[in-house]
Structures are given as structure tokens and as C-alpha cells.
Amino acid sequence: MADRIHPDTNIGLVKLRVSDLQRSIRFYSDVVGFKVLDERDGTADLTADGKRALVRIQEIAGAVVPPRKSAAGLYHYAILVPDRRSLGVVLRNLIRTGIHVGQADHLVSEALYIADPDHNGIEIYVDRPRETWGYDAVGHVRMAVDPIDWDGLLLEAADTPWNGLPAATTMGHIHLHVSDLAATKHFYEEVLGFDVMAQMGNAALFVAAGGYHHHIGLNTWAGVGAQLSPDNAAGLAFYEIMVPTAEAMMEVVARLNEAAVPIREEEGSVVFHDPTGIEIHLRPG
């Protein structure tokens, strides 16, 4: 049994609970730049390429909207655009809408941060070429939180028109509030088979497949022991881990079984929960 997850693993669909579907559709269309792929039964699938859903939003009647960083679950999900010009065009559109925009140069990437109407965090970012990434003495990728070149991004955008997110946009990574970093590290590294790419003391951890800077960020910034928001609250319903083959999926399933992690099958996916209780769907594709 292989002990590492397949190097071509990626993050797939992210499903969110929202309090007002039509308000969220307007936000995700006008502000973020998604298109609606499908809408039915209080749920909408959002796409960049018109073929594959990256985000699914489901309306929860009377949903509670918790303050940010108040519970375990989603910190943000991260939309990866294909080039710097695309990020500049996104930035110009965000400025047009008047939304509050956070920003950071992480050395490996340049990132913009916003939140949807239900306080679900969103990162929109572009990677720098992998050959420019730096590493420390133990092989961890060097990341920082430096000021972004805001003017340079807007100059890069030039007069490129805003037509929403580029078709080549993907789900780059997801970042989660967890309740116990040590137990979480063991689960994502030893059971799922991700590699630790960086760690910030006892507060945050970044893991990935195939040498990426991170596919999953994990932190205790909502507090050690933080509990998940209830099912009637806005927030993360689940996220997908995508492996390239059925064989790669079964290698992960074997480790889940060995660790006595309860699993179930659902529409071609294997469903389980991490030590915090966050729902994960594993599937090939």
C-alpha cells in the first residue's frame, strides 16, 4: 500500500451553505465572476468554464450567519486564475464593486481576499512559477504575507475587458479552521498521505500533493477546540479531494480503513470526516 497520496491530487468541488440563494448567485456572478452551470431545488452550481462546477451553493432556510473565525470549518477556499493579467482584471472588477479586498504576496503566489454575503472566505490568486519558489533548511516552502504589488496588477490588466473568471480557472486550495492541529496533522499526513509543506508554530499547517505549496491549509485561529457551526448555519458543507484514478482512491481508502475512519459511498465518492468533523468527499476524476 502506497503511503503518499497521488502527486496529481487536487481540490475539487467546494459546497457551501448560504442564507439567500439569489443574493449569493448575484454576488458570485457580479463580484467573483462565476457563471451558473445549473440551478435547482435551492442549489446552484457555479462554473468558470461552463462545464465543471467549482462551487456549489445551497440555500438553508433561516440560516444563521456566524461571525468569521468563530467556528471550525471554512477559513477560505481559493480560486486559482491562470495568469497575472487575469488577477489584475479580477482586482479591477473588485474595486469597481466597492467590496473590501484583502491582499498578500505569499512569495509563491499573489492573492486577493474577499468574503461572500454569508462570511464565507474566498481567495483569488495566481501562482508564481514553481522554479522561483524558495525552501528552508528542512525543505519547507518559504511563504510570507508581504504587501501585494497592487499598482502592478492593475497595470498588468491594462484594458483587458472583464468577462468573469477565465475558463482555465481552477480550485487551487482550501484553508480550514480546525480544533486540534496535532491530530489534524497526523490525519492529513499519515492517513490521507499529504506532505507537510510549511508550518507556523502550533497554529497553522500547510499540506500538499506533488510538491505544490499547499492544497490544504489548516489552522487553529478560531481557537483550539473550536466546534463546527451547526447544519443550519451558513458555511462549509463539504469539499472534494480529487485523485486521478480509481486505484489512487483505493490506496487512500485502504489507509482510512487501517486507521478505522468511518467511510460511506455516495454517488461515486467515498465520504468521511477529518478529526474536527469536516466532511470530505474523495473521488477520482
Compute the half-sphere exposure of residue 14: CA atoms within 13 Å on the CB side of its CA: 28
Would the pLDDT of 70 be above 70? yes
Residue with cell 466532511: 279
By DSSP bridging, strand 170-177 and strand 121-127 are unpaired
Confidence of residue 5 (pLDDT cuts 50, 70, 90): very high
10-284 CATH: 3.10.180.10
Would the pLDDT of 2 be above 80? no
Note the pLDDT of residue 120: 96
Confidence of residue 1 (pLDDT cuts 50, 70, 90): low
Averaged pLDDT of the chain: 96
**Measured distance CA(257)–CA(251) in Å, rounded:** 10
**Measured distance CA(55)–CA(57) in Å, rounded:** 7
Confidence of residue 7 (pLDDT cuts 50, 70, 90): very high
**Measured distance CA(186)–CA(274) in Å, rounded:** 10
Note the pLDDT of residue 94: 98
Residue with cell 503518499: 4
**Dihedral angle at the C-alpha atoms of 274, 40, 231, 284, nearest 10 degrees?**
-10
**Measured distance CA(234)–CA(23) in Å, rounded:** 13
Q: Read off the pLDDT of residues 106-140 as tens digits, 9 standing for 90 and up.
A: 999 999 999 999 999 999 999 999 999 999 999 99
Q: Record the pTM.
A: 0.96
| DSSP one-letter string for 134-146 | -B-TTSPBP---B
Note the pLDDT of residue 66: 82
Residue with cell 481559493: 78
CA 17 to chain CA mean position, Å: 15
**Measured distance CA(105)–CA(244) in Å, rounded:** 30
Percent of the chain with pLDDT over 90: 93
